[in-house]
């Protein structure tokens, strides 16, 4: 248990002794599981015998991945899903019911805001968005019927950092469940359960898989009680993930530390360069002292990752902005991040965010910095920015 996370990432979920010495857990596709007898079938259904039942309810790869993630985040157990978004919406649906009030940070991943706004009302669940900088003042908006608080820190697009320990502590005192989207950090940079959070979510699509070829999600529960409550919803709803994708996630864990470290090093270099460019009004990256939440980030996080955002000066026309972005060779336009390759994704926060209200003029662009040579990326970025002259 006291081993370094680097060592754990290499070893968790592997079991060569059970698999004729194979280094990796083999990719086992399955649906039906055969039982040795009628007695065994009934015992497994009652939980009196250990063994697989049906692929959707657990298979060798989901068991290995979920156990590995639970250990990395210091939780009791985990559930895996076909996407990160499904892990978030599945967790909300598992714990909220008609008549409840739920608090969602206003800078969450935009599809989560859409889910909260468009879907939860149909189930009689009232949604309230809160400012990520609320801190311990969250006490003022918690109601008697508040069932859960969803956090995301650093949040999407501008990486606003939340005071997670303060919010978790207030929530605990008021008996409100807390969940957090910890995708930005991976288990390497921040472990929310150590700060009192109940459920930790990762989009495995990003750093865990790391190669832009799988979507996957996971929710890690702090206690057995939470894990069991969640099981009821997950199994009743058929939420699950594919063995092929889980195989890729386990494989991704092996190199995640070195990928995250190298891309973060590249990103800091690129961020510092971008800060010197006159075409750019603001650079958002928590490891820069200019980031509004830099001090809070430094207090709680062990490092930063591979995404930053830039706000271009507001006087550029649409055509100028498009020409600049289209000039970049190493920053094709595409959603997602956390892979080995660089990307650019335009951000439209006036519509895609609730709070804090976005009032800045100018095009906001999120850059994912990959494993390319940072100097090559800087040359490429310069070429695009020069077209703005
Ligand atoms: C991408 C992303 C998700 C959703 O993950 P998918 O696997 O694409 O569904 C959730 N949260 C954050 C912060 C993300 O960036």
Indicate the pLDDT class of residue 57, thresholds 50, 70 and 90.
Answer: very high
Average pLDDT over residues 15-41: 96
- Is the pLDDT at 165 greater than 90, yes or no? yes
- Is the pLDDT at 269 greater than 70, yes or no? yes
Average pLDDT over residues 237-261: 98
Sequence length of the chain is 389
373 is catalytic: no
Structure tokens at 96: 């909220």
| CA-wise closest residue to 241 among 64, 80, 11, 114 | 80
- The pLDDT tens digits of the residues spanning 204-237 come to 999 999 999 999 999 999 999 999 999 999 999 9
Alpha carbon of 156 to ligand 1 centroid (Å): 10
Average pLDDT over residues 185-214: 98
- The pLDDT tens digits of the residues spanning 75-105 come to 999 999 999 999 999 999 999 999 999 999 9
Average pLDDT over residues 106-134: 98
Structure tokens at 118: 């468009």
376 is catalytic: no
Alpha carbon of 70 to ligand 1 centroid (Å): 19
35 is catalytic: no
- CA-nearest residue for atom 7, ligand 1, is 84
- Is the pLDDT at 303 greater than 80, yes or no? yes
Determine the number of helices (DSSP H) and then strands (DSSP E) in the chain: 13, 11
Radius of gyration of the chain (CA): 22
What's the confidence (pLDDT) of residue 144?
98
Q: What is the pTM of this model?
A: 0.97
Marked catalytic residue, from 109, 207, 227, 247: 109
- Is the pLDDT at 110 greater than 80, yes or no? yes
Q: Which residues line ligand 1 (CB under 6 A)?
A: 83-85, 109, 152, 156, 181, 183, 203, 205, 215, 217
Average pLDDT over residues 232-261: 98
In angstroms, rounded to a whole number, what is the distance separating the alpha carbons of residues 31 and 203?
24
- The pLDDT tens digits of the residues spanning 337-374 come to 999 999 999 999 999 999 999 999 999 999 999 999 99
- Is the pLDDT at 386 greater than 80, yes or no? yes
Query: What average pLDDT does the structure give for the chain?
Result: 97
Average pLDDT over residues 23-42: 97
| CA-wise closest residue to 186 among 246, 259, 108 | 259
Indicate the pLDDT class of residue 127, thresholds 50, 70 and 90.
Answer: very high
Sheet hosting strand 364-368, strand order edge to edge:
280-284, 307-312, 364-368, 343-347
Alpha carbon of 68 to ligand 1 centroid (Å): 20
In angstroms, rounded to a whole number, what is the distance separating the alpha carbons of residues 365 and 327?
14
What's the confidence (pLDDT) of residue 2?
74
- Is the pLDDT at 1 greater than 70, yes or no? no
Answer whether 170's CB lies under 8 Å from 139's CB.
yes
């Amino acid at each position: 248990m006291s081993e370094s996370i680097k060592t754990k990432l290499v070893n968790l979920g592997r079991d060569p002794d059970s698999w004729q010495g194979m280094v990796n857990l083999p990719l086992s596709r399955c649906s039906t599981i055969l039982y040795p007898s009628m007695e065994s079938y009934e015992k497994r259904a009652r939980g009196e015998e250990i063994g697989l039942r049906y692929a959707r309810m657990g298979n060798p790869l989901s068991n290995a991945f979920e156990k590995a993630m639970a250990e990395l985040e210091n939780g009791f157990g985990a559930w895996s899903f076909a996407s990160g978004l499904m892990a978030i919406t599945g967790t909300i649906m598992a714990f909220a019911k008609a008549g409840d009030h739920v608090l969602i940070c206003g800078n969450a991943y935009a599809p989560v805001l859409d889910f909260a706004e468009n879907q939860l009302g149909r189930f009689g669940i009232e949604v309230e968005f809160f400012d990520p900088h609320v801190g311990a003042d969250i006490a003022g908006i918690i109601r008697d019927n508040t069932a859960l608080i969803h956090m995301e820190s650093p949040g999407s697009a501008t990486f606003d950092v939340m005071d997670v320990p303060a919010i978790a502590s207030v929530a605990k005192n008021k008996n409100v469940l807390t969940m957090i989207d910890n995708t930005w950090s991976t288990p390497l940079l921040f472990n929310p359960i150590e700060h009192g959070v109940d459920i930790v979510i990762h989009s495995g699509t990003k750093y865990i898989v790391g190669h832009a070829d799988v979507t996957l999600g996971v929710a890690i529960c702090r206690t057995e009680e939470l894990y069991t409550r969640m099981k009821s919803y997950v199994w009743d709803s058929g939420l699950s993930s594919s063995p092929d994708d889980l195989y890729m996630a386990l494989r991704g864990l092996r190199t995640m530390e070195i990928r995250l470290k190298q891309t973060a090093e590249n990103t800091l270099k690129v961020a510092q360069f971008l800060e010197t460019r006159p075409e750019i009004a603001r650079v958002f990256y928590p490891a820069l002292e200019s980031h509004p939440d830099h001090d809070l980030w430094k207090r709680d996080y062990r490092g930063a990752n591979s995404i930053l955002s830039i706000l271009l000066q507001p006087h550029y026309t649409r055509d100028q902005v498009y020409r600049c972005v289209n000039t970049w060779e190493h920053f094709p336009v595409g959603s997602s991040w956390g892979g080995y390759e660089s990307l650019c994704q335009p951000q439209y926060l006036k519509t895609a965010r609730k709070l804090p209200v976005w009032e800045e003029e100018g095009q906001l662009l999120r850059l994912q910095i990959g494993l390319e040579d940072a100097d090559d990326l800087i040359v490429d970025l310069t070429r695009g920015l020069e077209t703005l002259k």
